[in-house]
Every structure is written in C-alpha cells, then in structure tokens.
Amino acid sequence: MTEPYKHKHKHKPLIGQTNLELESFAESIGEKSFRGRQLFDWIYRQQVDKFNEMTDLSKSLREKLDSDTIHPLKIVNRDLSSSKQTRKFLFELRDGKLVEAVLMVEGARITVCLSTQVGCAVDCDFCATAKMGFVKNLSSGEIVDQFLHLQKMSEEKITNVVFMGMGEPFLNYKNTIAAADLLHHPKGVNMAAWRITISTAGIVPKIKQFSMEEQPYKLAVSLNGTSQDQRLRTMPITKTHSFSDLMRASKDYAYHSRNRITFEYVLMDEINDNPKDSEKLVKLLSNVECKLNVIPYNEIGGEYSRPSDEKIEAFLQPLKRANFPVTVRWSKGQDIDAGCGQLATNSIKN
C-alpha cells in the first residue's frame, strides 16, 4: 500500500466544485464572486491546474491560492496495453485509497472509463472489482478529476465518457449525476450529454429516478441473462431487483426518455452463451428502443471463462435477425487487466 497522499490544504479541492460553490469559495477568502467564475473557467474549460498560469487572477489571489490544491487525486501508476490502444491509470485519493480509470482509443473515438466507487457492493460473481468489496463512494470531484487527468494524458480530445469503471454508479447516484453535470456544463468541459453513458447493474429505483428526472445522459444496463434464475446465477442483486422489474423499468425509461437504452450482455461459457439465449433476447428486446452490446467475457482467473470463438459465433447467429442494433465489444487492454470487469486495484487485493 502506498503512503497516504499527504496534504496540508485548508480548503477542499477545487475540482468537483460548481460555479456557485466556487463563487462562495472566492467570497469566503475575501474576493469578489466573479473570481469564482474565473476559477471555474480555468479549471474546467481551459483545464489549467497551475495558479500562476491563471493570468487574469490578481497576484494577491494567486498568492492566497498557492497553498490550496486543485486536484483531489494524483496518478501513482499507469499501464499501456500491448496494442497501445488502451491505457490504465491508478489514482490515489487524499486518504490513501486507490481507484482506476481507463483511456481507450478507437480511431477518432477517444473514450474514458471512469470509476464512481472504490470497490463495489453489488458483488457480481464474475467481476474482479466485486472481489474487493465496497470501500467508499467517490465524491463528484474525485470522479471528474479522473477525466481531467486523462485528458492531460491524451494526445487527442476525449470524445466519450462511460461511467463503467469500479463501482455501481447508481449506488453513488448523487455524486455520479453531479460529476456528469460538471462534464456536461456548457461553460466548462462542455461534453455533449449523448456522449456520456452511465452504466448500472440494475438498481431499479434509481433507473426510475433517472427517468423521472429526465436526465439527458445515456443509460446502459448490465443484463447478462434472459430470465430471473439465469441472471441470479452471476448477479446476486437480482434477488433485490428482480429481472422482470428491471425489464419494466428499462422499457419505461426508453419509452419516456425517447433515448435508446443500451443493454450489456457479458457472454460466459456454459452460463448464458447458448443460441437459445440469443433467441430469447431477440423476443425480450424486440419492443424496446434499445441496442445490445455483447461482451465476450474477460477472464479474471476465477471459475468463469470466455466461450470459444465458435460458440460466440453460434450465439450471434440468431441476433442477426434482431430489429435492434447489436454490437460485439471485444474489450481492449485485457493484457493489463483494463478490460470490462477486470478493474481492481492490486494494492488493495494483496
């Protein structure tokens, strides 16, 4: 375990604070409120993290800020996959806890996969993060800071954000939405809402809340089964939030929001990879405004394994008749444990 990230700062980190909060912060240190708006612009829109480069701030304000920190996270390790298309970053929080995020390049599409929790409470049987158990929720600043650090590391502008890293975003709902709002803010990062996807293992009340609030962000649901019993084999959360309730909430969301919902289906050998399962999927999803993302399983050294290429091909055959788009996500970065379901901070595992 690394030494905790030492800090002697009087104020909470500036990243994660809204325009209004930064205005209040400016006033609290004896400055005019517009200084807070300037800080917001520098931090989020211009993404400058050195006070001496914030040229329109007064010298006296820059001196006052000298002892404060902007970032709530610092990078402590990075891994590059053999394909050079995927990079995984390990961040340390101020209390010494660790969290991971991934930067993926696919042609002109640059995607970052952000974590919302240290560990995860949902306990999906096939996922490495679940093995860590739940440690803590991340603040909105700790979520957004992953993006800001990764943007600095990327040669190109990040085009897409997925909340699919460590943790269950809907069990940290308030901070997840606050982070998405900061990324979407027109005077800040200004990421289009349709480029931001929040993924859930199926927290039904939060899907309903997300829908009721008319959140503009895209929603992805980890389905991984075609019935209550099948899903329960790998996702204990199905006990609390039943398969039928999940399907009902997902359909309602797609209908009311007019946004196409994405269903994620992790394909595991002898669990959910029979062509009969894909036939069921075609029936189950045919009247939902959706797309299906099939993810051949990324192995983590446990009891589950990826089906053979022949089995994957056989599973995909019936889906060719589907009236909704189907994509296969061949996860990148498996060699550095950066594929879907592989994130777990080794320093915590050991």
Mark whether 290 is an active-site residue.
no
Joined together, the tokens standing for residue 202 give: 């199926």
* Residue of 113, 124, 290, 340 with catalytic role: 340
Token representation of residue 276: 């009969």
β 74-80/109-113 pair status: unpaired
Would you say 57 and 25 are in contact if contact means Cβ atoms under 8 Å apart?
A: no
Concatenate the DSSP letters of all residues of 171-214 into one string.
GGHHHHHHHHHHHH-TTTT---GGGEEEEES--HHHHHHHHHTT
Element spanning 144, H or E: helix 140-153
Helix (H, G, I), strand (E, B) or coil at 222: strand
Q: Determine whether 182 is exposed, middle or buried from the number of CB atoms within 10 Å of its CB (0-12, 13-18, 19+).
A: buried
Helical axes 140-153 vs 173-184, angle rounded to 10°: 40
Contacts of 18-21 with CB under 8 Å at 24 or more apart are: 18/178, 18/181, 18/182, 19/185, 19/187
Catalytic: which of 92, 100, 142, 264?
100
Q: Among 248, 240, 195, which Cα is nearest to 221's?
A: 248
Contact 65, 28 (CB under 8 A): no
* 340 carries an active-site annotation: yes
Residue 251: which residues within 8 A CB-CB, separation 6 or more? 287, 288
Catalytic residues, which ones? 100, 340
